[in-house]
Amino acid sequence: MELGNQIRHYRNEQGLSQEALAEKIFVSRQSVSNWENDKTYPDIHTLLLLADAFGVSLDALIKGDVDTMKKEISQQTLNGYRRDGTLFSIFLILSVLAVPVISFWYDVIGPVVTLALAVVLTALSFYYCGRVELYKKQFDLQTYKEIVAFENGASLEELEALHAARPPKRAWHVVVKILVAALIGAVVSYSLLALLNALL
């Protein structure tokens, strides 16, 4: 790839250190270093900021790397997906665990605190679930294999090959998934409530 050399060339031409360039385009110095060493690829927004910082056109900056850029998923995108997925899992688990705890301590903590806890945990779960779904929609991730491949840094070409091998989608699959998720949540909540009652 030529972009790393181009960034280094224009940065030196402007007399900028990696840190000074990073500050100019609102990224870390490590990001600039990774680009220059072809370890990662900046996203399109960052490319526009780089071109503006160097006073050159986007075409001049990326030269023959357009095809490569289309095939690569930026590390920032992948990190964002992983972070949002982890936070969604944490808040979902807390929401499920909170049901028996809130039910058990309802008389002690009162209805206002109970409602506030339930609303906050549910809202956070939905927020991060929505963010994960946006990533899945953007990259058309539908099967477990596709999600795992994406998390492991697969290229867009590899994801497209998985899309082609995707089994036909059936409407009843969605209904079954919802019912299974609801059943698991109910069983876990009821079990924890029973355990708390037994212990106290």
Q: Which of 33, 41, 52, 29 is nearest to 1 (CA)?
A: 41
**C-alpha–C-alpha distance, residues 58 and 73, integer Å:** 19
Instruction: Using a pLDDT cut of 70, give the percent of the chain over it.
Output: 82
pLDDT at 87 (0 to 100): 92
**C-alpha–C-alpha distance, residues 164 and 143, integer Å:** 12
DSSP state of 169: P
Q: pLDDT digits over 115-174, tens only?
A: 777 778 888 888 998 898 888 888 888 877 888 888 887 777 777 788 777 777 667 777
Count CA within 13 A, CB hemisphere, residue 198: 6
Strands, E, within 19-146: which ranges? none
Full-model pTM: 0.49
Q: Which amino acid is at 197?
A: N
Sign of CA dihedral 111, 112, 116, 117: negative
**C-alpha–C-alpha distance, residues 17 and 184, integer Å:** 54
